[in-house]
Amino acid sequence: MTLSGNQKRKMRSAARLYAVQALFQMEQSSQTVDQIKVEFLDHRFGASYDGAEMTEGDPEHFATVIDGAVNYQAPIDQMTDRALAAKWPIGRIDPTLRALFRAAGAEFQDKSVPPKVVITEYVDVARAFFPDGKEPSFVNAVLDHMARAARPEAF
């Protein structure tokens, strides 16, 4: 079965949402990156819960984001800290936002995805987690700063 461009984009978007959830779960538990990947790929992608079907995610993109976030966590966190206000280092922000910034930071390392696409996608993820809050605007500002630092040639 060949997927359309729209289907591929939806699967990558779902993979990003799952990546944020997985990174959050890793921080809150003692699970390893390999345990998290198995759990999400085997039990969350396309699963059905209480009659609601979970979206199928792009497993390769999910793994790339998770691996990048874990392997480059220190430089990603430093980049995030520079984008945050001095009184709000990454350790003080909401753990969901921390996971989101780490996932997006991993994608900024990947030159195949335009930074503006990464920003748009993760602002959408922020809207999914914080539908009524100011967090999506905050995420947009922080990611714009991070993207310009990581990929200045794209701006």
Using CA atoms, how far apart are residues 12 and 69, in angstroms rounded to an integer?
Answer: 16
- Per-residue confidence (pLDDT) for residue 31, from 0 to 100: 92
The predicted pLDDT at position 128 comes to 93
Contact 69, 23 (CB under 8 A): yes
Query: What's the rounded mean pLDDT across residues 108-123?
Result: 94
pLDDT tens digits for range 11-56: 999 999 999 999 999 999 989 999 999 998 888 887 666 666 667 8
Determine the 3-state secondary structure of 50 from DSSP.
coil
The domains of the chain, with CATH numbers, are 5-154 (1.10.940.10)
Beta bridge partners of 49: 52
Is pTM beyond 0.85? Reply is yes
Contacts 24+ apart (CB under 8 A), 26-31: 26/70, 27/95, 27/98, 27/99, 28/95
Per-residue pLDDT tens digits for 118-152: 999 999 999 999 999 999 999 999 999 999 999 99
What one-character-per-residue DSSP string does 103-122 give? HHHHHHH-TTS-HHHHHHHH
Task: Please report the pLDDT score of residue 61 as a whole number.
Answer: 95
